[in-house]
Structure 1
Amino acid sequence: MKVTGSLSAETEVCVPASEAWDIYGSGKVVGVVVPKLFKQIDVVSGDGSPGTILEVTFHPGGPPTYQEIIHTVDNEKMVKEIDIYKGGFLDQGFNLFRIRWDIIAKDEKSCIVKLTLILDIKEESMANLSHVSIVPFVGMMTTVNNYLIENHKD
């Protein structure tokens, strides 16, 4: 048996949705968050489209290195989904650990950035669910959103 669930957070950013999507929907996000949050993120294979595999390495003392795969990039709906592909939470009994970014236009000058963690864990590994926190992902969202605001051109 398995257990599924999700955690989410959202914030308003005073930039057009297209501007936010230009960062969140592309590989440009890597340049914004490295080295602030990660030691490095390397492309193992692919070009940033679905199927691309990235290796995420944290600063010393951080979590172990893991790989993620870009699952979905929908430019029309402004949705990007990334799954942990190898290591990380998969080593702790998770069948699925998906990070979903939705960029939702509010008006011409602002948008909502919504982050959702979609989880599927084996019942026998439920104790490891306590290791999951949305806080680091919100930190990443805050870093990117601050970058968007600081580099917004009216």
Structure 2
Amino acid sequence: MFGQLSHKLEVNVPASEAWEIYGTLGLSKLLVEDGSAFEKIEILEGDGGSGTILKKTFMPGSHGFTVHKEKFTKLDNEKRVKELEVIEGGYLDLGFTLFRVRFEIIEKDNDSCIIKSTMEYDVKEEAVANISYPNTDLVAKIAEVAKDYLIKNKATENAA
């Protein structure tokens, strides 16, 4: 059974600034510093580009699992799109055959953009009871952490 969920968040910074966080490993660093979703994020392979593999350890009790590995399968700096797929653990242990997240930074105007996060998943028929696990809570939290950081940095730059 295939499913898709999306979340959008408007941010009052240029799309290029938001992409500086999303298009690099900077987002992972922010998420660990924030401490609300991930206990630890390890880079197993790569430098943040396509093919990079991360091992993410979730905060205890935040999901139905504690660890998963994900691979960046697409990184398009021109279109500001990044895709990753869970390749081990996490949702795959719950009977999902695919769990993909796409982050898009969509330019609204010169001073604002939209962070669009889309999750696509496919679950085995015998594990269809787990279809309720995917939700937009985590991608919404990730977008909020990024937004807070970007707005704070913009305020600091304007004050300087």
The residue type equivalent to 2:18 in the other structure is A
TM-score by length of 1: 0.94
Partner in structure 1 of residue 50 of structure 2:
50
Find the counterpart in structure 2 of residue 128 from structure 1: 130
Query: Alignment identity in percent?
Result: 44
Deviation for aligned residue 1:60: 3.4
Q: Return the offset for 1:31.
A: 1.4
Q: TM-score, normalised by structure 2?
A: 0.90
Structure 1, 85-94 or 129-138: larger mean CA deviation: 129-138
Any conservation in 1 of the 2:84–2:101 contact (CA below 8 Å)?
yes
* 1:103 corresponding residue in structure 2: 105
How far apart are 1:111 and its partner, in Å?
A: 0.4
Q: Does 1:151 align with 2:150?
A: no
Unmatched segments (≥5 aa) in structure 1 = none
Alignment length (residue pairs): 152
Distance 2:94 2:55 in 1: 18
The Cα of 1:61 is off from its aligned counterpart by 3.7
| Structure 1 stretch displaced more, 58-67 or 85-94 | 58-67
Could you say which residue in structure 1 is the equivalent of 2:95? Answer: 93
Helix, strand or coil at the partner of 2:38: coil
- Structure ranking higher in helix proportion: 2
Aligned AA (2:56):
V
Matched to 2:13, the amino acid is V
Contact 2:7 2:139 in 1 (8 A): no
Following TM superposition, by how much is the alpha carbon of 1:107 offset from its aligned partner in structure 2, in angstroms? Answer: 0.5
Q: Extract structure 1 runs of 4+ deviating beyond 4 A.
A: none
Q: Which runs of 5+ in 2 are unaligned?
A: none
Write the letter of the residue equivalent to 1:88: G
Contact 2:60 2:66 in 1 (8 A): no
Matched, 1:7 2:9: no
Tell me the residue number matched to 2:83. Answer: 81
